[in-house]
Structure 1
Amino acid sequence: MSNLDKSSIVNMENTARYQTRSKLNVAFSTADRDSAVFIFNVTKGNKLLLLSSENVTGHIALKHSDGSFVKDTLHFTEPNINGRFEYYIPNDMLKREGTVTMQVFISEKGNSNVTVAERIVTFGIEKSIVSQISAETKLQYIVEYDELQAIIANRITDIEDKMANAEDYVSQLKQAREKGLSDIEIAKADSVKSLNDLADKRLEEINNKASEYSSKFDDDKQYMDEKHEAFKQSVLDSEVVTQGESKEWQKYKLTNDDGSYSLIDLQNKTENYYGLKTGIYYTTNTPHGISGVSTAGFSEMKIRQGSTVKRLTFRPYNSNRIFEKWFYNEWSDWKEIVTLSPDEKIETQNLAESRANETVTKANQYTTEQINNQHGVLFEGAANGVETNIKLTDDYTKYKILFISGSFGGGDFTQEYSTYLSGKIIIQKQMLLMRLETVADIMN
């Protein structure tokens, strides 16, 4: 079939359901010549049936609305078993505009009572504009010449088809002969025994043929299984990776095939450095402008989707120092990331706070101990009467300052005395309750 043919596909289902007559949305032209073709797909369960000229024949009948009638056979589109037929609408019928009813049926060979599939549809033939041109025009003569040429060609094709169908006729005769139980054989049989003998012989032939087909099918299936296993094994041996296996793989290549990083000479150009794609590189002549470090080392570029946020890290090859800068609308300056030697530890916030609290606690404890060592109570009690003797717990001259506090009928008081200024301490209060405290070296 030519790619320029006007083809229409008609599906024929092998089913017991009733299939109503349907009007195809198909219209050919009266000017079409050898190009109007129908393709019939014979399916079962939406799958093509395995049909060929060995087991089925296709028939078609066409009835024009003007009363003309054509009956013909269908042809397989390919010699393989694909369940597909094709039929070219005769040019004689295409010449006449109108509606055509088409009946197609596929029957099993050797058993005319078994219909594999059948369908009745209608389609239209529209009058071509070319056919309406006046007979006086030269174009009409050209069309008529084409029609005459087509008639002659159709007759030649018909002769060739009949010669080609001669082999089919011989095949049909052979099938009729192999059928065994023909009408002639039945008529010649003069007894029930002859009929039974003929039937038994035919059944034996059928069984033998079935066994032959079954054996061939088993051999073919084994052959296909072996080829299938060999194919799967070849795929496994070739270590081919399927799309399903690689679906979740990281598709972006970060290193070379051997795991090394690409060497890039940035030529001391900032635009070359900022133009790096996502990945890790070993860069030379790196325009970082950082004093005291080499311009060769490992550079890593990280880019957020959309390229609006970037982070660039540089590690000099001969140092453990790390420098970073980042981009958001503009590039920042280089910042050094603090690194420690293996024997050093980074002090966390919790550890620093714990050490500070511990230091404060020890300082308070030390201060309290020092104050306790320098402070003492020499007397606490009441003094009644003039020149009342007060017994102190220690010699007050050991201390530099004395604090005397108490209460009396007139209120409360607190006085301090330096032990260097006077050898006497005089307190004149009525109804005195007194507390004497000392502080040693309080000014030190």
Structure 2
Amino acid sequence: MASNLDKKTILNMENTARYQAKQDLNIKFSTADRDSAVFVFNVTKNKKPLLLSEVNVLGHIALKHSDGSFIKDTLHFTEHDINGKFEYYIPNELLKREGTVTMQVFISEKGNSNVTVAERIVTFDIEKSIVSQISAETKLQYIIEYDELQAIIANRITDIEDKMANAEDYVSQLKQAREKGLADKRLEEINNKASVYSSKFDDDKQYMDDKHQAFKESVLNSEVVTQGESKEWQKYKLTNDDGNYPLIDLQNKNENYYNLKTGVYYTTNTPHGISGVTTAGFSEMKIRISSTVKRLTFKPYNSNRVFEKWFYNEWSDWKEIPTLPLDEEIETQNSAESRANETLADANRYTDEQLSKQHTVLFEGSANGVNTEFNLTDSIYNYSLVMISGKFPGGTFNEPVLVSNVIDNITIQRFNLTDAEGQLVEFYESSVNVKNGIKPFIRHDVAFDYKNLKPSGKDKNAFTITKVEGWK
């Protein structure tokens, strides 16, 4: 109930989008205050009372003591008409505790808890009273009684000492002793009362401790979020409450575009100036230093194209970021080099395979002497070129033969000079019959000595065939 002795503190709560920092009110209540610590909240808009009533809004308050205790309650309208004013009496249970109290107040629209009309966070102090939690009447009564008794006792003791010093009679001494005994009895009564009050204080403290523990357990089991728990939370809002990105009409003005805050938006009439690209889509602004480093990305709503520009003291032109279908990859220098190496390896492998198919070793061995037959792995007429290799007295020979010019025989002719003087000259000739194609034989093998003008006869057998190869 309101009283002229209430300690009222008036706080203004402005309905505004501007951030209102946490404020120390520099207000102190006493632990001896009871039903007298009152906060009055004026809810204003543009510094005028906001038309609010218990019909359309609710007032909420949360108080957290520095000792960990916590209270959550509702505010009350000072009047039932629309005046935008609330009040709240600080509970006596909280006022009993000295320390600092953090108070958060917010006014919300009824039926929509997400709409906050106004909000303030402030702190105030509670100082410890010398005679806390004892009524004023009781304190005064016992202080006076104790002072009076102390004065009486002091006077009586002084009187006894004086009379003892003057050797008063024993009766007088007994009287004084009786009076002193009465004083001792009075002191005993006071001490008994003090013990009763002390016991009551102990019981009250135990009661408050139990309530405090029960309160802490109820807070821990509730869904209340403390300031400490939310300290590391991300406090920058990136989307609307429904999860959608904000919709902004940029009105084809660059200053509207460049002044976007950090976040993702769906923008219309976007002033990008890119030919053939719609002006509606998703715009993302990334900011490191608002006046120096920014990056702006635009993605048209109807394609997978991506455009970026950046700000480092000044804005760059728009650049398109290449995008590919899921089954394609962007070609890099490393991937291009890797692809070229793979292509070269494939070409070499293909060439080797083709050459291996075109080239065949038809015979390897040793064939010497007239009428000697040797078997080929394939007919020479399946090849375009045949190479016959072997030995003769002058060294080795390799005889290439175009198969298309062969009728029945392949003739091999060589001559030789002596190594030392070059005087001795001999001509050698051998003929291989290939009419069968797959089973050739040595038809003749002769030589002629020019120095002696002497023929060798048909069985010189100077040539030894060691290898026959074919190319298609």
TM-score between the two structures when normalised by the length of structure 1: 0.48
- Which structure features the higher share of strand residues? 2
Hey, which of these two has a bigger chunk of helix by percent? 1
